[in-house]
């Protein structure tokens, strides 16, 4: 595996994992994700929420099969950061298949970061979540620790296949 793929795969491991999150709708889900990401880094969540919502307005980040990857470029971070959130109830997210979303992987990349890194990260996420067994394992994970392990194993598989 190239160093680049190894680094990008490492960024994919969620720094935060939230389970059974009670959200009303898509904007509320983005607010909750931004608040959690910013709380851990001492950042103001308001500009992060605006950046996530601007990206959603350009086109839904839902990929289908109940999964979305809200993402944005933000200031105040040195490297990409991710947060996985599983909602208590699936919410409308304007997915291409029309299905509601219950799994979100929020990705924040540095405003000053390399655009290519951002695109490679999104490509790895799409590859990871196109695996139905990975999605099923994640959906069945009983807690954050188990979900983190599902991510580790899935990321290792995707990264190995990319090398």
pLDDT digits over 114-124, tens only? 677 778 888 88
Q: What is the third-level CATH fold of 3-162?
A: Mannitol-specific EII; Chain A (3.40.930)
**Over the Cα atoms of the chain, what is R_g?**
15
pLDDT at site 111: 86
The mean predicted confidence, pLDDT, of the chain is 90
Whole-angstrom distance, CA of residue 106 vs CA of residue 66: 14
pLDDT digits over 133-155, tens only? 999 999 999 999 999 999 999 98
28, 71, 94, 118: which is the annotated catalytic residue? 71
pLDDT at site 1: 39
Catalytic, 71? Answer yes
pLDDT digits over 49-85, tens only? 999 999 999 999 999 999 999 999 888 888 889 999 9
* Matching residue, tokens 């795969």: 9
Phi then psi for 154, rounded to 5 degrees? -65, -40
For the chain, the structural domain boundaries read 3-162
Q: What share of the chain is helix, strand, coil (3-state, %, to 5)?
A: 50, 20, 25
Comparing 46 with 7, the larger pLDDT belongs to: 46
């Amino acid at each position: 595996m190239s160093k680049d793929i190894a680094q990008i795969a490492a960024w994919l491991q969620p720094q935060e994992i939230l389970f059974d999150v009670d959200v009303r709708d898509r904007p509320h889900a983005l607010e909750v994700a931004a608040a959690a990401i910013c709380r851990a880094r001492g950042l103001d969540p308001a500009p992060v929420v605006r950046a996530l919502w601007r990206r959603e307005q350009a086109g839904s980040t839902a990929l289908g099969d109940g999964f979305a990857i809200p993402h944005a470029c933000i200031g105040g971070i040195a490297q990409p950061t991710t947060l996985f959130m599983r909602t208590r109830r699936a919410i409308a997210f304007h997915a291409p298949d029309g299905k509601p979303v219950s799994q979100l992987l929020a990705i924040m990349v540095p405003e000053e970061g390399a655009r290519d890194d951002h695109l490679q990260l999104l490509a790895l996420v799409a590859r990871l979540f196109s695996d139905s067994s990975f999605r099923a394992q994640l959906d069945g994970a009983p807690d954050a620790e188990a979900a983190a392990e599902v991510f580790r194993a899935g990321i290792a598989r995707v990264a190995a296949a990319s090398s």
